A and B are shown apart, each in its own frame.
Chain A
Amino acid sequence: MIHFVLLINRQGKVRLTKWYSPYSQKERSKVIRELSGVITTRGPKLCNFVEWTGFKVVYRRYASLYFCMCIDQDDNELEILEIIHHYVEILDRYFGSVCELDLIFNFHKAYYILDEILIAGELQESSKKTVARLIAAQDSLVEAAKEQESSISNIIAQVTKRFTAEAAEIGEHFPAERFSIQGYRYTDVDVCNV
């Protein structure tokens, strides 16, 4: 069973934590402090496992981020290593070349995705497509809600648009459809595959 998932960067800053076993807030801080000290100082060629107070912590480094999972003594470490990779691949697909910054600003999305992969400390879905489909279904809700809201913000937008073309120009700099495109792409895939 996975006891917790921890994402920390090289400076030991926390990017995401998910606890599947009960830990008090105090214990959590202690765990993070101790583990970030141990893991971020380990050399690149050493094993990706650390034995830690009767548990094992499997970690894997992606660019500047460490993904760590704490497991029981008799779990299969290599498998956990691949579960981490599985998660990262799904994140990568979702965000499109995911980077640390994506996770910083969208940590709640990273949580939702994690919730579709792990539940109660067990791997619940090993098919990337199934996960992607569920996330896309949830995102379509967000889109729908946004459309509703935008009816209000449209009014504001129109008002501001009138002021100057400059504002609109600034707006155009943003690849605004990045996420929605991503969302549609998945549904496209689904249509083609099924």
Chain B
Amino acid sequence: MEQLKTIGRELAMGSQGGFGQSKEFLDLVKSIGEARSKAEEDRIVVHEIETLKRRIIEPDIPKRKMKEYIIRLVYVEMLGHDASFGYIHAVKMTHDDNILLKRTGYLAVTLFLNEDHDLIILIVNTIQKDLKSDNYLVVCAALNAVCRLINEETIPAVLPQVVELLGHPKEAVRKKAILALHRFYQRSPSSVSHLVSNFRKMLSDNDPGVMGASLCPLFDLITIDPNSYKDLVVIFVNILKQVAERRLAKTYDYHQVPAPFIQIKLLKVLALLGNGDKHASEHMYMVVRDIIKKCDPSSNIGNAVLYECVCCVSAIYPNTKLLEAAADAISRFLKSDSHNLKYMGIDALGRLINISPEVAEQHQLAVIDCLEDPDDTLKRKTFELLFKMTKSSNVEVIVAHMIDYMISITDSHYKTEIASRCVELAEQFAPSNHWFIQTMNKVFEHAGDLVNIKVANNLMRLIAEGFGADDDTADIQLRLSAVESYLRIVGEPKLPSVFLQVICWVLGEYGTVDGKYSASYITGKLCDVAEAHSSDDTVKAYAVTALMKIYAFEIAAGRKVEILPECQSLIEEMSASHSTDLQQRAYELQAVIGLDSHAVDSIMPLDASCEDIEVDKNLSFLSHYIQQSLETGAQPYIPEHERSQLPSISDFRGQGHQEASAHALRFEAYDLPKAPVSKPSPVSHPSSTELIPLPEPSYTSEIHPVSAVLPKSDAGSNKIKLRLDGVQKKWGKPSYSSATPSTSDFSSEKTVNGVSSMGVSYTSSKALDSSYESRKPRVEIPSEKQKLAASLFSGISKAEKRSISTSNKPTKVTAHIVDKPQSQKLAAAPNEIIAEKAAHPPPPDLLDLGELDNVSKAPSVDPFKQLEGLLEPGMSTSSAVALESDIMSLHTEMPTNSQVHKNDVVLGLANASDAGIAVAQPIQISKGPNVKDSLQKDALVRQMGVTPLSQNPNLFKDLLG
């Protein structure tokens, strides 16, 4: 009885088209579906892999069985496990003559292999053959594989065939051929550079799908060089106009919008072509305005087109009417309840703001809302917008918000980005030094390890140099505030290394300058830093050098140096350090302490970090010494380029050097097998060698040369490294200990100056504060938000007023210019286009005049005409529906077609009455059949032995329900 049941089940599955796999596979899928944890799932999959490994190498597997194994491999790979042992079988399957197997083979290899995989070479031949096949389905499958697998090296092998396919009678093939060429272009632009004219030609293909596909490569080409494609502007505009006027076949409609995906692509292309080109842009104004007018703002796809229009408008030469329309669209987006639309609105605002900054002002509150929204994505987009509209007047508010947000997130990628933005804004718009230092401190404190080291160097330089060279007192003030803030911060745990380096440097350089803090206090702090971060050699090195500076300043000032016991032990510890760098510094420090004040003063002058050091590059002071040595019989120096086999001196860092020498010694032949070494996991390799004898020998033979090379280069690098370390110490460091005469006779006279100026600056900053306060209360009556808005946007409006008065003129002029041709155009559009064409004849490669005329001159006999079997231009949709004789074709146009299948008639009626109800009604009615349908499915899988999962009852839910 049991047996019979299984037989029946298998029979049923055999005849049942969908679940055509064996019981075994269904069980696998089912058990994975029911797995309660990732570990359990992994266990099942590992077991499955073992089964497959065993089965797949059995001799004489029936092809149908093999096909299923391959699909099971795909499944395993999809779940994130390694199925590389079976790749070769997938490759073999592509060789099969049976198209079904071939198709499965191609599907599997496109999913398994990246374009740099070694097995690709085994497929190229098959692809070549299949591209010439009579069966267009085979050609399609091969082209799918071409798009995924062909790399730069193999492009020439298939290129001629693919180009030939551009003339294939089946539009599906032409389309795929174009996109394959597009892929080739992305891989290696030079390989298809001679085919550009083909892309242009395909633009006038009869099939809209092919035309749409040709826009992809053209978009890329135009991005790089818009100027050589200006002649296509008229053609693009014409196509777009025809699309917008519903001249394409109705099957291209998507939710009642005519071919929106093609419209979007065209608008993108036009945005590129019209950017900064007044003449080209003038062609576009009318069609873009038409599209904006026609866009249905209630549907998602309508808004997608609308958004693309706004992007286009803000990219092309400005036109006041279009800008107004775009601003309207943006305000609609921002006022919408949908977060998606708000997001798009913020993005569009960011684009438009460059051209008409006044738009931002009307949306202040909406922007603030988005900024405070709990949705992270929206928030980030808003920060992007704020970043774009930062002025010196609102920088403080914006950066404060950015930093608050930066502190709150953990995503290191975005943290880095926002930190670098903060730094950029702070460097560009900082209202005061004090603010700048404070801001940088915060950035370093919370994202120090993520920011570029250059930023730290910039900060140190700024503190050393100050803003204005002529105003010493302000600089001193700046340094003092830096020292104070660092002393406050330095005790905190978990400070990033880069920040600690800055702190150490500043404390060493300026810690004791104004006499406020004693040397022992500062040195104590520095020792704490070094001890707290004992694993970070760079920080320790900075700390020791800072100690040295402080002691040197003490000695130079004639005070007695008292070395704290912890400093003493730190120095001793470091002089025995493994790091030669630390050792060197510790010994230097000890040496400096032993010197008298005069010597120290010339070695370590106070505040000389910005002094230019004159470097004698010729080392002329050594010539006497060299002469002497040569006379006593030393070898003369051989210049670098003459000892070419020796590794270059410049890359003395171990890693870089090793690699460089390895490269020098390795030859092409060794390069290839490197991929299998790094890629496959150890488990997979042995098994694959059983099956494929091919890669193995090259793999083992490769190991020898590499291992032979390594020790050699290692020794070489060591030797060089040692020598250069010495060089670095001697010539790398002296920037601080150079013998330039000290400029700073830092006497009491100056400090007096400093104190007096301090007072002044305090009052001035107070004044600033109070003015800031007085500004705030003025808008204080409304909520917090408005206050924020005011502080954010006040600068814009002010700055913007100026810009309006200056920019008013040009925009008016354009409006003038634009209006005229538009009215003309309305009257005699075709005429004008012909005239236009006469004035700008396109370059010869497009001058297959017949085709060109087709597209541009006579839109009424356009190429799409043939496909317009269903077109009823004059009718409104509802009447068209009523007259539609074929109900089946109706539901192909309808958006909610899942239910429509069963309710054609109902829908037809509903649609005729009212569009709004039409959507709601069929859904309600169709609930019944849907439930039934899913119940049926439930029963079906139950019978097959797959019990529905208790944790996921949704499995049977209609996706579109």
Q: What interface size band does chain A fall in?
A: 35 or more
Interface-lining segment among B257-265, B396-404, B572-580:
B257-265
- Cα–Cα, bound, A167→B364 (Å): 72
Contact A65-B301, Cβ < 8 Å, known A120-B183, A128-B892, A134-B172: no
List residues 58-90 of chain A with CB under 8 A from any CB of chain B: 62-65, 76-79, 81-83, 85-86, 88-89
Partner of B898, one of A23, A79, A92, A166: A92
Contact A174-B901, Cβ < 8 Å, known A89-B960, A120-B183, A188-B888: no
Q: Is B674 an interface residue (CB 8 A)?
A: no
Q: Is B115 an interface residue (CB 8 A)?
A: yes
B352 to chain A, nearest CB (A): 15
Q: Is A16 an interface residue (CB 8 A)?
A: yes
Partner of A178, one of B17, B29, B33, B172: B17
Q: Which residues of A contact B8 (CB under 8 A)?
A: 160, 166-171
Q: Which residues of B contact A102 (CB under 8 A)?
A: 18, 937
- Cα–Cα, bound, A49→B251 (Å): 29
Query: Is the Cβ of B956 less than 8 Å from the Cβ of A99?
Result: yes
Chain B, residue nearest A53 (CB): B413
Partner of A106, one of B18, B99, B262, B377: B18
Mask of A106-138 contacts with B, CB within 8 angstroms, 1/0: 111101100100011011111111100010011
Chain B, residue nearest A58 (CB): B340
Q: Which residues of A contact B98 (CB under 8 A)?
A: 145
Q: Which residues of B contact A142 (CB under 8 A)?
A: 17, 100
A159 to chain B, nearest CB (A): 9
- Cα–Cα, bound, A184→B596 (Å): 101
Q: Which residues of B contact A91 (CB under 8 A)?
A: 959
Contact A76-B307, Cβ < 8 Å, known A122-B179, A171-B12, A174-B940: yes
Partner of A99, one of B19, B78, B377, B934: B934
- Cα–Cα, bound, A122→B100 (Å): 25
Mask of B42-75 contacts with A, CB within 8 angstroms, 1/0: 0000000000000000000000100000010011
List residues 161-194 of chain A with CB under 8 A from any CB of chain B: 163-164, 166-171, 173-176, 178-180, 188-189, 192-194
Number of interface residues of B (CB under 8 A): 118
Interface-lining segment among B208-216, B512-520, B821-829:
B208-216
- Cα–Cα, bound, A141→B138 (Å): 11
Query: Is the Cβ of B343 less than 8 Å from the Cβ of A77?
Result: yes
Query: Is the Cβ of A106 less than 8 Å from the Cβ of B19?
Result: yes
- Cα–Cα, bound, A100→B956 (Å): 6
Q: Is B797 an interface residue (CB 8 A)?
A: no
A11 to chain B, nearest CB (A): 7
Interface of B is mostly: helix
Q: Is B497 an interface residue (CB 8 A)?
A: no
Q: Is A35 an interface residue (CB 8 A)?
A: no
Q: Is B339 an interface residue (CB 8 A)?
A: yes
Q: Is A97 an interface residue (CB 8 A)?
A: yes
List residues 302-349 of chain B with CB under 8 A from any CB of chain A: 303-304, 307-308, 311, 339-340, 342-344
Query: Is the Cβ of A97 less than 8 Å from the Cβ of B930?
Result: yes
Chain A, residue nearest B81 (CB): A25
Q: Which residues of B contact A170 (CB under 8 A)?
A: 5, 8-9, 12, 943
A126 to chain B, nearest CB (A): 4
Query: Is the Cβ of A49 less than 8 Å from the Cβ of B340?
Result: yes
Query: Is the Cβ of B254 less than 8 Å from the Cβ of A101?
Result: no
Total cross-chain contacts (CB, 8 A): 304
- Cα–Cα, bound, A133→B937 (Å): 25
- Cα–Cα, bound, A119→B162 (Å): 15
Q: Which residues of B contact A86 (CB under 8 A)?
A: 254
List residues 277-309 of chain B with CB under 8 A from any CB of chain A: 300-301, 303-304, 307-308
A132 to chain B, nearest CB (A): 8
Q: Is B562 an interface residue (CB 8 A)?
A: no
B884 to chain A, nearest CB (A): 11
Query: Is the Cβ of B934 less than 8 Å from the Cβ of A124?
Result: no
Query: Is the Cβ of A46 less than 8 Å from the Cβ of B377?
Result: yes
Query: Is the Cβ of B209 less than 8 Å from the Cβ of A130?
Result: yes
Q: Is B200 an interface residue (CB 8 A)?
A: no
Q: Which residues of A contact B7 (CB under 8 A)?
A: 160, 163, 167
Query: Is the Cβ of B889 less than 8 Å from the Cβ of A193?
Result: yes
Q: Which residues of B contact A100 (CB under 8 A)?
A: 952, 954-957, 959
Q: Which residues of A contact B18 (CB under 8 A)?
A: 95, 102, 105-106, 109, 178-179
A50 to chain B, nearest CB (A): 6
B956 to chain A, nearest CB (A): 5
Q: Which residues of A contact B17 (CB under 8 A)?
A: 142-143, 146, 176, 178-180
Mask of A4-24 contacts with B, CB within 8 angstroms, 1/0: 000001110110111010111
Query: Is the Cβ of B111 less than 8 Å from the Cβ of A18?
Result: yes
A162 to chain B, nearest CB (A): 11
Query: Is the Cβ of A160 less than 8 Å from the Cβ of B959?
Result: no
Partner of B259, one of A109, A126, A173: A126
Chain B, residue nearest A23 (CB): B114
Query: Is the Cβ of B958 less than 8 Å from the Cβ of A105?
Result: no
Query: Is the Cβ of B959 less than 8 Å from the Cβ of A62?
Result: yes
Q: Which residues of B contact A78 (CB under 8 A)?
A: 300-301, 303-304, 307, 340, 344
- Cα–Cα, bound, A20→B307 (Å): 26
Q: Which residues of A contact B930 (CB under 8 A)?
A: 97
B935 to chain A, nearest CB (A): 11
Chain A, residue nearest B957 (CB): A63
Query: Is the Cβ of B182 less than 8 Å from the Cβ of A120?
Result: yes
B460 to chain A, nearest CB (A): 30
Mask of B12-31 contacts with A, CB within 8 angstroms, 1/0: 11111111010000100100
Interface-lining segment among B140-148, B601-609, B706-714:
B140-148
Q: Which residues of A contact B82 (CB under 8 A)?
A: 25
Contact A32-B251, Cβ < 8 Å, known A108-B107, A170-B5, A176-B16: no
Q: Which residues of B contact A138 (CB under 8 A)?
A: 103, 137
Chain B, residue nearest A173 (CB): B943
Query: Is the Cβ of B179 less than 8 Å from the Cβ of A101?
Result: no
- Cα–Cα, bound, A36→B724 (Å): 50
Chain A, residue nearest B681 (CB): A25
Partner of B251, one of A24, A128, A179: A128
Q: Which residues of B contact A157 (CB under 8 A)?
A: 11, 14
Partner of A124, one of B104, B115, B209, B311: B209
- Cα–Cα, bound, A130→B302 (Å): 22
B881 to chain A, nearest CB (A): 15
Q: Which residues of A contact B941 (CB under 8 A)?
A: 101
Q: Is B739 an interface residue (CB 8 A)?
A: no
Query: Is the Cβ of B886 less than 8 Å from the Cβ of A98?
Result: no
Q: Is B847 an interface residue (CB 8 A)?
A: no
B898 to chain A, nearest CB (A): 5
Q: Is B249 an interface residue (CB 8 A)?
A: yes
Question: Known pairs A111-B111, A120-B182. 13 more at Cβ < 8 A?
Answer: A10-B954, A51-B414, A78-B340, A86-B254, A88-B959, A99-B955, A101-B956, A111-B107, A119-B144, A127-B252, A168-B8, A178-B16, A193-B886
| 3 residue pairs, one from A and one from B, having the closest CB atoms | A179-B17, A64-B954, A78-B304
- A-B pairs with beta carbons under 8 Å apart, 12 shown: A11-B951, A25-B82, A50-B377, A100-B952, A107-B74, A119-B143, A125-B172, A125-B175, A127-B252, A138-B103, A142-B100, A189-B888
Q: Which residues of A contact B (CB under 8 A)?
A: 9-11, 13-14, 16-18, 20, 22-25, 28-29, 32, 45-51, 53-54, 62-65, 76-79, 81-83, 85-86, 88-89, 91-93, 95-102, 104-109, 111-112, 115, 119-120, 122-130, 134, 137-138, 141-143, 145-146, 149-150, 153, 157, 160, 163-164, 166-171, 173-176, 178-180, 188-189, 192-194
Q: Which residues of B contact A (CB under 8 A)?
A: 4-5, 7-9, 11-19, 21, 26, 29, 33, 64, 71, 74-75, 77-80, 82, 98-100, 103-104, 107, 110-111, 114-116, 137, 140, 143-144, 147-148, 171-172, 175-176, 179-180, 182-183, 186, 208-209, 212-213, 216, 249, 251-252, 254-255, 259-262, 264, 268, 300-301, 303-304, 307-308, 311, 339-340, 342-344, 374-375, 377-378, 380-381, 413-414, 679, 869-870, 886, 888-889, 892, 897-898, 901, 930, 933-934, 936-937, 939-941, 943, 951-952, 954-961
